[in-house]
A = this chain, B = another copy of it.
C-alpha cells in the first residue's frame, strides 16, 4: 500500500481537477472500478458541482525577484480554489492573504476556500516571521473552468441487494494520512472481498466502496442514485488509518441500529486499544451526508485518532504539509485493514439466532459444558448467551446487552449452530410460545 501512496500523495488532488482524475485513474488500474461523472453546475440536492480548478503557477517574491514561496515546491502553498491574483502589495495588505498553521511553525497549512471567492497563499510561520520588507510581489495563476467531478465505485456483489457502503476521500493534495490511507485500506479490503467471493462463496451483503472528493462527492453520488438509498443498510467511512494513534470507531446518528451494535461490539474483540465515540464526537466526514435527513443510512466511521483529552487531536500533523508518508507505516495500514475486514466479517455474521431447543440445552450431552467450578465466567456467559437465543436477538444485540464482544458471542453461537441447536435468520423469528400464538 505504501507504493501506491508514494505515487499519489503529491498529485494535486483538488475536488475537480486533473490531479484528482490522474489519481483515480491510477486506482482504477488496481481494481475493477466504475467511474461516475458529474459535470460542473449539475445540481446535487441543495448543492452544485463546482468548477474544475487548476493552478498553473504561483509564487511570492521580494521586489528584487527572490522567490520566497513557490507552488512548484509544494501543492499546499496555494489555498485550494484560490482566485487568480497578480500584483505588488504592501506587507500589511498582503498579510490577510497569507495563512499559517496555528500549532506547527514549520508546516504549511492546508487551506481551502471552495465557496468564499478569495485568493491566498500558505506558508510556515517561520517563513512568515522573516517577511519584514515593505512590499512583495504576488503571482497566482489559477483557472476556473467547466469540468467533471468523478466518483470511483468498486462493487462487490452479494447474495442480497441490501448494501453496505464504504467511503474514503481521495482529495486533499499533498497529504497522506488524510485520507490516502483510507483509500488504500478500503481498496485492499475490497480486493480481499472480491477474491474471497471466488473461494468461499459470495458475501450476503452487496458492498460498494466509493472513492470521491469529500462531501460534494457523496452528495453527487447519493443525489444521482436515490433508488439505491433504501437498500443501504449501513456503512463505514474510512480515514486516517496509517498514523500511530489508536483506532476510534465513531457511531452513527442512530446509535441503536444493528450496524452500530455490531461494529461497536466487534471492535472490542479486534483491538483492545481501540475506543468508541458517539456520532459527531470524533471526526466529521462524508458519513454526515449518509446519516443526514432524507438519507438516514447508519454510517459509522473508522479512523486512527488521538483520544478526546489529547491536545493534538485528531493527530499532530492533521491538515498540514507534515502529513507525509513518514508518519504512516505499512504495518499499521495492514493492521487497520485487518480491523476493517474483521468488522465486515462480523457484519456478515450478524443474524437473528433462532433456537431449535427449548428449555436449557443438555450441555454435557452435546459436549459444550463449561464447568462453573473451573471457569465460572465462561459458564455464566455460555448460559447468558444461550438464554437469549430466541429468534428475537441478533448476535450484536446479545453482545451489546451482555456488554461483551461480538466475537465471544459468535464463538458460542457457532458452537450451537454446529450442534444444530440454533439456526441463523436475517429476519426476526420469535419462538416464545406466547408470541407464536
Most chain B CB inside 10 Å of its own CB: which residue of A288, A293, A388, A431: A293
Residues in B with CB closer than 8 Å to A294 are 355, 357-359, 390, 431-433
Residues in B with CB closer than 8 Å to A265 are none
User: Which candidate, A10-18, A27-35, A198-206, A360-368, is the interface stretch facing chain B?
Assistant: A360-368
Residues in B with CB closer than 8 Å to A253 are 387
Known A364-B116, A387-B253: A357·B296 in contact at CB below 8 Å: no
Residues in B with CB closer than 8 Å to A73 are none
CB distance from A326 to the nearest CB of B (A): 28
CA gap between A244 and B112 in the complex, in Å: 55
Residues in B with CB closer than 8 Å to A85 are none
Closest B residue by C-beta to A227: B433
Instruction: Render A33-59 as a binary contact track against B, CB cut-off 8 A, 1 for contact.
Output: 000000000001111100000000000
Which of B293, B362, B386, B390 is close to A47, meaning CB atoms less than 8 Å apart?
Answer: B362
Known A364-B115, A433-B230, A437-B230: A46·B359 in contact at CB below 8 Å: yes
Q: Is A223 an interface residue (CB 8 A)?
A: yes
Q: Which of A400-437 contact B (CB under 8 A)?
A: 421, 431-434, 437
Q: Which of A328-385 contact B (CB under 8 A)?
A: 355, 357-362, 364-366, 380, 383-384
Q: A359 to B219, Cβ gap below 8 A? A: yes
Closest B residue by C-beta to A230: B433
Q: A46 to B366, Cβ gap below 8 A? A: yes
Q: Is A222 an interface residue (CB 8 A)?
A: yes
Q: A222 to B358, Cβ gap below 8 A? A: yes
Which of B116, B295, B357 is close to A359, meaning CB atoms less than 8 Å apart?
Answer: B295
Q: A223 to B358, Cβ gap below 8 A? A: yes
CB distance from A47 to the nearest CB of B (A): 4
Known A230-B433, A230-B434, A294-B433: A46·B115 in contact at CB below 8 Å: no
Closest B residue by C-beta to A290: B359
CA gap between A288 and B386 in the complex, in Å: 11
Residues in B with CB closer than 8 Å to A358 are 45, 222-223, 292-295
Q: A361 to B437, Cβ gap below 8 A? A: no
Most chain B CB inside 10 Å of its own CB: which residue of A44, A115, A223, A387: A387
Which of B215, B219, B223, B387 is close to A292, meaning CB atoms less than 8 Å apart?
Answer: B387
Minimum-distance CB pairs A-B, first 8: A294-B358, A115-B364, A47-B362, A293-B355, A293-B390, A46-B362, A296-B432, A289-B359
What are 13 A-B contacts defined by CB distance under 8 Å? A45-B359, A46-B359, A46-B365, A47-B362, A48-B365, A223-B358, A223-B359, A292-B359, A293-B359, A294-B358, A294-B359, A294-B390, A296-B390
Beyond the given pairs A116-B364, A294-B358, A296-B432, 9 more chain A to chain B contacts, judged by CB atoms under 8 angstroms and listed by A's residue number, are A45-B358, A46-B357, A46-B362, A115-B365, A230-B434, A253-B387, A293-B390, A294-B355, A294-B359
